[in-house]
Structure 1
Amino acid sequence: MDLMLKDKVAFITGPAKGMGAAITLAFAKEGCKLALVGRDTAAIEPVAEEARSKGCSALVIGCDLTDAAQCDAAASKTVETFGRIDVLVNVAGGSGPMGKTGVETTPDEFDEIVTLNMNGCFHTIRSVLPSMIENRYGKVINVGGTFGMKGRAGRLAYSASKWGLRGITKSFALEVGQHNINVNCVAPGMVDGPRFRDKVCKTMALKFGISEEEAAIRHAQDYALKRITVDEDVASACLFLASDVSRQITGVDLPVDGGWAAL
């Protein structure tokens, strides 16, 4: 199926590695023009070069997403370069303290992850909406997480931030739908990669006296599909929500977790 994303302008945060890089390259493969936004431009540039090798334009913009003025400047630079913004994908975020109860979590730790995961998305949405409203077209995709749908002991700060992001998503969806703008949330479960292997699997392996690979297999048993999500699964969900195939879908949480949060 042709998703008809060729030449759409996609503003993507957190594109340097892992899920963000996979999403960036998926949009590049579809022929999008890319604005790749984040603090560490040196880390983003190799991904931008790979995107360019696929024949697409890729603009790298330095931006602290917790600074509203910098987000406004990044959006303005994108519009100045490409003429408009069609798609926003908010990937950037943090994990916050792990294994700490709410009582053990410090106010500073809580504030830091809420500021990054909620304020950052709020700022970028506000920054790109004027272009979308002017053109009566837009797709906003926030990358949340299933711990923001069911909660998780030991991850209070992260769960709170992602739960809040769902509220931001739904409220913006109600406000801008009249302008032909869709706002949705993709909620990955545990995604295979260094953090999953080095932290989750290693911790489980030590706890049960098994190998790290056996730990990964045991973890997968929690899911209906009995497999761990990979970065490309999340990227495909973002492409779907960025396309007009999903034109009548807005304000939803789409779990990409093999069947954990919804079942």
Structure 2
Amino acid sequence: MTLKGKTAIITGSNSGIGLGVARELARAGANVVLNSFTDRPEDHKLAEDLGKEFGVVARYIKADMSSAEECRALVEQAGICDILVNNAGIQYVSPIDKFPADKWNAIIAINLSSAFHTTAAALPMMREAGWGRIVNIASAHGLTASPYKSAYVAAKHGVVGLTKVTALETAEEPITCNAICPGYVLTPLVEAQIPDQMKTHNMGREEVIKKVMLERQPSREFATVEQLGGTAVFLCSDAAAQITGTTISVDGGWTAL
């Protein structure tokens, strides 16, 4: 599944799932544009090292995904966008009646509205090139719900809906749009939570992972960023040319319950 000659923009990609997806796209030969809201030397070094590792062109472009203007500017500054991966996201947990309005607005902006703005900016480029792939990183929470995550669940359901609309609007063109719905993924952020959970529940590492953190994931195993990246590569390949407007769950059976 070669993506040589294609250019991929991955939002929220200087760590975690976004970086994992970027690495697998680069491994498949795609040039990549990394992104986050910071503009540190280490961000640009990350892109430089990625490019050297896989022999592709890799750049880092700073853009705040809570800003509609910066979302669109990211795509415009990249100059080319064959593959768009909308991954940027944040989380906040609180009961609805106590949920801070600013947190709600930020989650909707970054997790949902950013995907609309980047897609709107990328589609003309894809149409001009005669080929395009849009991969939205949704969540198991785009298909089901959990208490105290109203903004996140609403946003991810919205991402799934946006995916379907984008697919229908491009159905007669060589452009596809799909959503990957991960369950719990082993990222540095999740890894850092394990010691605290072990103390709270007085359990060993494996026990707290299986009985507490992965209680809703039937496989009792985390998905990996490499697996999500591999799924993205597949969706960008010719083998997936007739897959559009759908969701692929990488959740260890969570949404089968």
Provide TM-score, normalisation by structure 2: 0.91
Partner of 2:189: 195
Q: Which amino acid aligns with 1:34?
A: V
Which residue number corresponds to residue 76 of structure 1? 76
Question: Match of 1:177, SS?
Answer: coil
Distance 2:181 2:49 in 1: 26
Q: Percent identity?
A: 30
User: CA 1:69–1:222 in structure 2 vs 1: closer, same or farther (change >3 Å)?
Assistant: closer
Matches within 5 A, 1:99-178: 100-178=94-172
Q: Which amino acid aligns with 2:203?
A: I
Assess, with a 3 A threshold, how the Cα gap between structure 1 residues 51 and 198 changes in structure 2: closer, same or farther. closer
Q: Which residue identity lines up with residue 45 of structure 1 in the other structure?
A: H
Task: Name the residue aligned to 2:224.
Answer: 230
1:216 to 202, 209, 215: 209
For structure 1, the 5+ residue unaligned runs are none
Aligned pair 1:27/2:20, yes or no?
Answer: no
Q: What letter corresponds to residue 71 of structure 1 in structure 2?
A: C
CA displacement, residues 10-47 of structure 1 (integer Å, 9 cap, x when unaligned) = 11111101111111111111111112233213253232
User: What amino acid sits opposite 2:44 in the alignment?
Assistant: E
Report the Cα offset of residue 59 of structure 1: 2.0
Quote the residue 1:57 is aligned against: 57
1:11·1:34 contact (CA, 8 Å) conserved in 2? yes
- Which residues in structure 2 correspond to 1:175-186 (within 5 Å)? 175-186=169-180
Is the 8 Å Cα contact of residues 65 and 124 (structure 1) preserved in structure 2?
no
The residue number in structure 2 matching 1:47 is 46
State the one-letter code of the partner of 1:56: V
Kept in 1: contact 2:184–2:217 (CA 8 A): no
Residue in 2 aligned with 1:85? 81
Matched, 1:37 2:35: yes
Question: More displaced, 38-47 or 14-23?
Answer: 38-47
* 1:260 shift after superposition: 0.7
Aligned to 2:9: 11
| TM superposition shift of 1:193 | 2.8
- For these two proteins, the number of residue pairs brought into alignment is 254
Q: Distance in 2 between matches of 1:188 and 1:115?
A: 20
Structure 1 85/194 Cα, relative in aligned 2: closer, same or farther at 3 Å? closer
CA distance in 2, matches of 1:258, 1:74: 33
Structure 2 SS opposite 1:119: helix
CA distance in 1, matches of 2:29, 2:187: 26
Q: For the aligned residues, what is the CA RMSD?
A: 1.9
- Pairwise CA distance, 1:133: 1.4
CA 1:72–1:147 in 2, change beyond 3 Å: closer, same or farther? closer
